[in-house]
Amino acid sequence: MKKKEVPQDKSKLEKAKIKDMVYAVDENGEYVTELSTGWEPKTIALDNAIKVIEERVEDARQRVLKNETSPIEYYMEKAKMDLPILASYVGLWQCRVKRHFKPSVFKKINGKTLQKYADVFEISIDQLKNINEG
């Protein structure tokens, strides 16, 4: 494709200023690199992925509000993490982190462990305890 034909479709990632480097042909017929914000198929796929993430975050938020899970699960989803990643970041076994998803167990977590979670999510302990402040 020619340099002036490199697609620049708009997507939700545009705010993050994420661009792909692609090869194109310049006016002299030489291959050059050019930045692209994306093209329609990629934009559709990324927008769908972001929508799924947003739905998972909202689902976790609703379950916290219904006292079905702890704020740890909400913040994990919000940070786009999964259980193995979160467990490795806080330095705990996955089964222990999963136990912390239980509201009754979450209420008993000591300050040191809460601080580990807060540090990983880059929030305060108060924000961790109250998702409306996060």
DSSP 79-119: TT--HHHHHHHHT--HHHHHHTTSHHHHTT--HHHHHHHHH
pLDDT at 75: 97
Closest CA to 21 of 11, 31, 10: 31
Asked if residue 10 and residue 72 are part of one domain, the reply reads no
CA distance 81 to 133: 20
pLDDT tens digits, residue range 12-70? Answer: 666 667 777 888 888 888 898 888 777 778 778 888 988 999 999 999 999 999 999 99
pLDDT at residue 134 above 60?
Answer: no
Compute the distance between CA of residue 61 and CA of residue 67 in angstroms, rounded to an integer: 10
CB count within 10 Å of CB 100 equals 24
Domain that holds residue 28: 3-38
Question: Are 117 and 102 members of one domain?
Answer: yes
- Residue 95 tokens read as 């089964």
Q: How far apart are CA 54 and CA 38, in angstroms?
A: 21
Rounded to the nearest 10°, the torsion over CA 17, 44, 83, 75 is 60
Pair 97, 62 in one domain: yes
Q: Are residues 20 and 55 in the same domain?
A: no
| Same structural domain, 31 and 92 | no
Regarding whether 66 and 116 lie in a shared domain, the answer is yes
